[in-house]
Structure 1
Amino acid sequence: MTQRSEQLVLDYLSDVGLALHGRVTAKERTAYLTSLRARIDERRGAADNDDVDTVRRILRGFGSPEHIVREELTGREVDLEDDEMIPPKPRHADRPPPPWRGGPHQGFMSLLEGPSQTDLRMDGRGGRKPGVTRNSLVLARHHPPEAVALAVLVLSGVWWDVAFLWVLGAALIILSQVWNALDKWIGVGFPLAACVVGMTLWTGEAKFIDQYIQQALPATGVPALGLASLVCVLYLFPKAARSARVADRSAGS
């Protein structure tokens, strides 16, 4: 290990960290950089030597910092535009064939399929995000409170008779260490606002406010709360799943 080659790695990790800043939480950024450093060191250990040219070639295999961050956040391969970081192998060589040629589905069915065995990214990992089932298992393993919160929101959205359980889900969202403040405001505030709006749209009649609440809440308020909860699940689940995948890779490395 030479000082120049080590400095190349540190500079690369620093650039990746800057590209991640503001896009993920500090905990997620630290976990991802630790995992990335472990993969780089693994390739350096497998190389014949550890000179500057070898390290530079290894870093080219991962792609530019902005490129690898965009792939991590979107789960999709993107074309490289940085000439200095273009990998030696053409990008299309790693891409799977289209569905009509026997390749994986890219539409709705991809949610259930999970990653393809032949769809590899430059660093050897799957190029597509895991399916809903895989994400759910990883989420339950690494972030069980968030998994319970999402399950409660789904239950409240499909079974209105147990909508009172939504309070438990809201409490878990507020106490979460994964979702940020904006996520919490959306996860809790949007269903409540939908419930209030739903109650105002009730067309029944009631003489007193307490009677109005008692009749409007189950008639239109609870359904609105349930539907808004399902929308929040679609918003919160990808964020929690991404954090769980980062934790899973960090634990694996």
Structure 2
Amino acid sequence: MSPLIGAALLGVIERADQLVLNYVSKAADAAHGVLRADQRLDFAKRLRARIEAERHGSQNAREVAKVLARFGDPAALVEREVRRLAEAGVATRREAAGAPPEVAPRGTGSTLSFPAIVDDHGAPPGVRAYRRIAQERVSRRQEGRGLPFAGLRRAAMFSANPMATGGRDARTLIKEHPRDTAAMVILVVAALLVPFDLPPLAIFQVPVVVWAAGAALVLFSDTWTVRDKIIGIGAPLLAYSVGGVLIGGLRVGTEAGLQAFITQFFDVSGTMFMIGTGLGVVWLAYRLLDFN
């Protein structure tokens, strides 16, 4: 295995594991001041074990993110844990601080099993899928508070608290997807270099070389699906070829010869490449935002 492929595979594994660690850390933070130290540690261990069991060893970041989405809000899991401990008669830190327990304490200790997530119930797969979609839509509407373009505003909040934006602000996206962000930036740079008459590298134009580097990063990404990658990379190629033929043909008309058509094709194909690259990057950015 080449070092490049090995590094890419290592990055994929690290990305999936990081999603799990971030989720468990949020749950542990939410349990701070609510559960005792030993209960908090036990809760985090059982949560991590349950997530690992649900992901079935998958190293695909998108699949792991779906698994975590099924677990729901970490704070809600903490509340369920508090209720379960109270029903078992186990005192928590909240009760020790003076909050009224739901059930009178009968002892101390930790529970042996983690609460079942929504998909654990015996509903058919189709019902579970539509239930999850509905919950995600309701959650997003609540986050946006009914305001137009709420998702775009959240993404533009560079100084936002990730907990308040659900990790969908630009700073968090860039921090958690540095290679994906770099790929999109390189593609944009390739498009911006088109108007400049730079000397070629060997037989290749500089914008083509830069675009190829960005396209390679997109292909190695574990965030986007194959469909997303085809759209993001294929948009500039399609615009360059098809757009150049159509626009160039319209500009020369039916009376001009082949040489005139070729001249018009190269006059407009660069601009079409820039437009296609812009559309492809917009799609990749949208899908990156939608993924988180």
Give the TM-score normalised by the residue count of structure 1.
0.52
| Kept in 2: contact 1:75–1:129 (CA 8 A) | no
SS at match of 1:77: helix
Give 1:206 shift: 7.8
Residue in structure 2 matched with residue 179 of structure 1 by the alignment: 224
Q: Residues 77 and 71 (structure 1 numbering): CA distance in 2 closer, same or farther, change over 3 Å?
A: farther
User: Which structure has the bigger radius of gyration?
Assistant: 2
Q: CA deviation at 1:195?
A: 0.1
| CA distance, structure 1, for counterparts of residue 158 and residue 175 of structure 2 | 12
| Alignment-derived partner of residue 191 in structure 1 | 236
Structure 1 equivalent of residue 168 of structure 2: 130
C-alpha distance 42-173 of structure 1, shift in aligned 2 (>3 A):
same
Work out the CA distance in 1 between the residues paired with 2:232 and 2:158.
26
Partner of 1:228: 276
Question: Deviation of residue 196 (structure 1)?
Answer: 0.9
How far apart in 1 are the matches of 2:73 and 2:153? 33
Structure 2 unaligned runs (5+)? Answer: 1-46, 89-101, 104-114, 119-127, 196-205
Structure 1: unaligned runs, 5 residues or longer: 1-8, 18-24, 79-94, 246-253
Residue 250 (structure 2) pairs with residue 212 (structure 1):
no
Say which of 163, 168, 173 aligns to 2:207. 163
What are the Cα deviations for residues 16-69 of structure 1, in whole angstroms up to 9, with x where unaligned? Answer: 99xxxxxxx964233442472793653343336275999xx9979xxx975554
Change (3 A) 1:107 1:139: closer
- CA deviation string 1:192-233 (max 9, x = no partner): 111013332234788669x937x743x211211111111111
The answer to whether the Cα contact below 8 Å between 1:76 and 1:128 also exists between their aligned partners in 2 is no
* 1:112 corresponding residue in structure 2: 156
- Give the length in aligned residue pairs: 189
Aligned equivalents of 2:237, 2:287: Cα separation in 1? 21
In the alignment, the residues of structure 2 paired with residue 154 and residue 230 of structure 1 have an alpha-carbon distance, to the nearest angstrom, of 7
Question: What percent identity do the matched residue pairs reach?
Answer: 16
Is residue 149 from structure 1 mapped to residue 183 from structure 2 by the alignment? yes
Does structure 1 retain, via aligned residues, the 8 Å contact 2:239–2:272?
A: yes
Distance 2:258 2:234 in 1: 29
The AA in structure 1 aligned to 2:140 is R
Alignment RMSD, CA only? 4.9
Aligned to 2:92: none
Amino acid in the other structure paired with 2:262: Y
> 1:168 deviation in Å?
1.6
Residues 156, 166 of structure 1: 8 Å contact kept: yes
Which one of 49, 74, 77 corresponds to residue 141 of structure 2? Answer: 77
Report if aligned partners of 1:179, 1:240 keep a CA contact under 8 Å in 2: yes
Asked whether the 8 Å contact 2:193–2:207 carries over to 1, the reply is yes
Q: Give 1:77 shift.
A: 2.5
1:180 & 1:148 partners in 2: Cα distance? 17
**Relative to structure 1, is the Cα distance of residues 227 and 73 closer, same or farther in structure 2, using a 3 angstrom cutoff?**
farther
Q: One-letter code of the match for 1:113?
A: M
What do the CA deviations read for 1:132-157 (whole angstroms, capped 9, x no partner)?
343223221xxx1x222211122233
Deviation at 1:175, TM superposition (A): 3.1
TM-score normalised by length of structure 2:
0.46
In the TM superposition, residue 240 of structure 1 has moved relative to its aligned partner by: 2.8
